[in-house]
Amino acid sequence: MIGNYPLHLMILVLLWGYIYTGWSLMGRLGMVSFGHGAFMGIGAYTVVMLWNHFGLSPWLGAPAALALTAAVALVIAYPCFRFKIVGHYFALVTLALSEVTRLVITAMRDVTGGSLGATPNGALTEGRSVAIGALQFSDKWVWLAIIFAFWLLGLWVWRLVDRGMGRLALQAISEDEEAAASIGIHVTRAKLQVTLVSALMTCTGGILYAQYQLYVNPDTVSGIAISLQMVFGVIAGGMFVMLGPTVGAAFTLLLAEGLRLAFGNKYPALDTTIYGAMLVLFIIFMPKGILGALLDLVRRPRRAS
Amino acid sequence: MLSLSDISAAYGGFQALFGVSLEVRAGESVAVIGPNGAGKTTLLRLISKLIEPTQGTISFQDNSLVHVPPHQVVGRGIAHVPENRRLFPRLTVEENLRMGAFTAREKYQERLSLVYELFPRMKERRAQPAGTLSGGEQQMCAIGRALMSGPKLLLLDEPSAGLAPVVVQSIFELVRKICREGYTVLIVEQNIRQVLKVVERAYLLEAGKIKMQGPSQDFLRSEEIRKAYLGL
Amino acid sequence: MEIFDIYLLEAVLNGLLLGGLLALLSLGLNLIFGVIDVVWICYAELIMCGMYAVYYLHVQYHWPLYAAMPAAIVIVAMLGVLLHQLVIKPVLAAEPINQLLVTGGVLFFLQAAATLAFGIDFKNLGVSLPAVRIGEMSFSAARLIAFGAAVLGVLGLFVFLRKTYLGTAIRAISQDRAIMPLMGVSPGRIYTLTSALGGALAGLGSCLLVLQYDVHPAIGLSFGPITFLICVMGGLGSMAGGLIAAFVFAQFISVGGFFFAVEWGYVIAFAFFIGMMFVRPQGLFRR
């Protein structure tokens, strides 16, 4: 029997793996978004707020959150792609989106509880470990099953995008938009589709995160910090291979947990200091990420022989 | 003064020069002519060390230039007027000239008046952003900027490119004037007829190799040159 | 009604004072971007380091402020050089995205290192400056000083860029990087110098901020994002655009905060920013 803590870690790895996979759909096309914190925050807060204030089941709250996410994603992404806002500009514009979301959640403190966060009203009474209508489960195995399913779905979406658009077309978009347009790819539309899928995945990730943790806080589900965390997780794993984001999620989470267990009590923040330093070293020396670099190592000798 | 021997160079992944040897003596004006893509610009970029040779030696005033970093070449007395002039468009004319004197600040005032004397037009336009100058004026400014460093050798890359015919005339007039002032000049040109009237000696560069060299009079008389390049 | 107007005027004037400070902050970032073509995502964390430097030198080691502040400026300038040499230089030839991210890693690192070294509690300089009253309105002296110093800093940089060889080279390098060696200028040296200068501006910013705000490891997050957005709205690398955008943003924050809660002032400013992307996608003053 697996204990609760390892089970919790597995759930988090898969959940973040799913979210990072969603982020990478955009990232590998050169659309480095610092705005995914917004989608996650919208997902988490919409569902929890509708449940707490209107008693609306997450099953109905989720479509509302997805619709809101889709609208926000399109409103931001359309002008960006239409006016060819790329690179630094795109990153910083999306960063604005993250911050707006965090600030709106904080500013609506009468409703959201502000920076103190909020807890979904509990539906689990004594003797009940499953509340399907409220999407609350006390059994971690149920969560593992749900989130594993979503993780698989994420990989399937990755594959679908890969196949559907063709690897060459994807690369054409990321490297040279004009060339892509000249071979008949509607660049803006293709980018919008990918963005939409990516945003919706992140949004569902936010919903699941809120329902699993039974706690939301503007600083942990939205804003610049969480957006950077996604980017770094993906960079660490490697964004150009399907399992890269998941490897990144596992690596960063286990590293953070390991460091926390090793130093946590004696030296608070030593773990995050080492973590930050490692991120910097990663980007300098291993820009393709762990999995990317490993695959290169495996492939290179073959090519040579 | 400047001597290249058996130089090869690659540029942008393909080899542009094959065993080129070339000599410029003090006080001389020398042209390198040839068709588009012959490697003329590469040759000049090589001399100012913007690219490294893959083989061969370059020396200037009996000192090797091979291991000199590009930003120290100007200090040794070689000024390069690059292809397309490459002024700083949002700096004023005078600021462009000041950049030319970056390595020779103590002589700035003296050289500034020298350049203004040579190009009175630049004095009129000195407070204007260089990007707003006409093509010919930009070329003057670019040459002036190079002269601000007080060079012993001036490298000119296609000074007449992209200019109206009337302006081309006046630019070559200027080049002639600069040669008479005693500067040593190495000029790369496609406007072969004009440049041969200005310089004393010339090299013909074709497909990265020197095909012919000699006094410019010989070039003007050569049947081959007349047919292939002068359209006579 | 009259009282109301006076308070609104006070908010507008406070916005002006804030604008000066934001202008100074955005200037350093813009300078770095214009010259090196890299965005220091960790810029606000450098400022945080400077604030701690002032705090520790003054409170712990009892240096007078007039010594602690210049020392902090020098320290942050050196941090800027270190950042460039250790982190930026290795990725100068890498993908622009990696350049952006690597400084994001430094952000995490500095935040965590500050927590490790200084703890998470808010630290206050303990200098209380009087409020200046003008009629019905009152302004904090710290803000007035910050505004004055920021204006001086901006002017100083302007003169440096206009009047000196190095300043001219800094302006030139953003216009044509490749031919700088032909001028006898080593781009590497200019990068290092610019990093020091950008750091010094961050250092000056930290001296002015520490007069008004408590310092804690996460303080960078509270004004870092707004600084980036000012730069983007003004057109990355365009200093004039950044200055104007700083004052526009400051008004949104100050006047918006006057009518609603402070966060809404920020939200309005950010929303305005996103709206601007539709109208002028390349920033107000794209070069």
- Shortest Cα–Cα distance, C43 to chain A (Å): 14
Q: Which residues contact A99 (CB under 8 A, 6 or more apart)?
A: A223, A224, C225, C266, C270
Which among A25-34, B216-225, C187-196, C251-260 has the top mean pLDDT? C187-196
Contacts of C108 in chain A (CB under 8 A): 228, 232, 272, 275-276, 279
Q: What's the CA gap between C148 and B193, in Å, rounded?
A: 63
Q: What's the CA gap between A221 and A217, in Å, rounded?
A: 6
Confidence of residue C140 (pLDDT cuts 50, 70, 90): confident
Residue C1 has pLDDT above 50, yes or no: no
% pLDDT > 90, chain C? 41
% pLDDT > 70, chain C? 95
Find where tokens 């698989």 sit: A152
Q: What is the mean pLDDT of chain A?
A: 84
Contact C108 A279 (CB under 8 A): yes
Residue C55 has pLDDT above 90, yes or no: yes
Contact C165 B100 (CB under 8 A): no
Q: Which of residues 23-42 of C touch A (CB under 8 A)?
A: 33, 39
Predicted TM-score (pTM) of this structure: 0.85
| pLDDT tens profile C196-249 | 999 999 999 999 999 888 999 989 888 888 888 888 888 777 788 888 889 988
Residue A229 has pLDDT above 60, yes or no: yes
Q: SS in 3 state form for B92-120? A: EHHHHHHHHCCCCHHHHHHHHHHHHHHCH
Listed by start position, the domains of chain A span: 4-121+128-221
CATH architecture of C2-279: Orthogonal Bundle (1.10)
Helix (H, G, I), strand (E, B) or coil at A10: helix
- For residue C252, how far is the Cα from the chain centroid? 18
| pLDDT tens profile B195-215 | 998 999 999 999 899 999 999
Contacts of C97 in chain A (CB under 8 A): 30, 32, 87, 91
Q: Under CATH, which number does the domain B2-228 receive?
A: 3.40.50.300
Q: Give the residue-averaged pLDDT of B158-175.
A: 88
Residue B192 has pLDDT above 80, yes or no: yes
Answer with the residue of higher pLDDT: C134 or C247. C247
Within an 8 Å CB–CB cutoff, is residue B200 touching chain C? no
Within an 8 Å CB–CB cutoff, is residue B95 touching chain C? yes
Query: Which of A77-81, A172-176, A293-297, B56-60 is least confident?
Result: A172-176
Q: Give the residue-averaged pLDDT of A81-97.
A: 81
- Shortest Cα–Cα distance, A9 to chain C (Å): 22
The helix (H) or strand (E) run that includes residue A192 is helix A187-213
**What integer pLDDT is reported at residue B131 of this predicted model?**
92
Residue among A270, A272, A284 minimizing CB distance to C108: A272
The helix (H) or strand (E) run that includes residue B56 is strand B55-60
**Considering only alpha carbons, which residue of chain A is nearest residue C228?**
A92
Confidence of residue A304 (pLDDT cuts 50, 70, 90): very low
Listed by start position, the domains of chain C span: 2-279
* Cα R_g (chain C), whole angstroms: 19
**What integer pLDDT is reported at residue C200 of this predicted model?**
96
Query: Which of B36-40, B93-97, C183-187 is least confident?
Result: B36-40
Find where tokens 């030593």 sit: A270
Listed by start position, the domains of chain B span: 2-228
| pLDDT tens profile C153-190 | 999 999 999 999 999 999 999 888 889 999 999 999 99
Q: Which of residues 220-239 of C touch A (CB under 8 A)?
A: 221, 224-225, 228-229, 231-232, 236
What are chain C's partners, defined as 3 or more CB pairs within 8 angstroms? A, B
Residue A42: CA count within 13 A, CB half-sphere:
27
The helix (H) or strand (E) run that includes residue C253 is helix C239-259
Q: What's the CA gap between C182 and B50, in Å, rounded?
A: 8
- Shortest Cα–Cα distance, B208 to chain C (Å): 23
**What integer pLDDT is reported at residue C10 of this predicted model?**
84
Contact A100 C271 (CB under 8 A): yes
**Considering only alpha carbons, which residue of chain C is nearest residue A175?**
C95
**What integer pLDDT is reported at residue A2 of this predicted model?**
64
Q: Give the residue-averaged pLDDT of A57-77.
A: 92
**What integer pLDDT is reported at residue A305 of this predicted model?**
38
**What integer pLDDT is reported at residue B232 of this predicted model?**
64
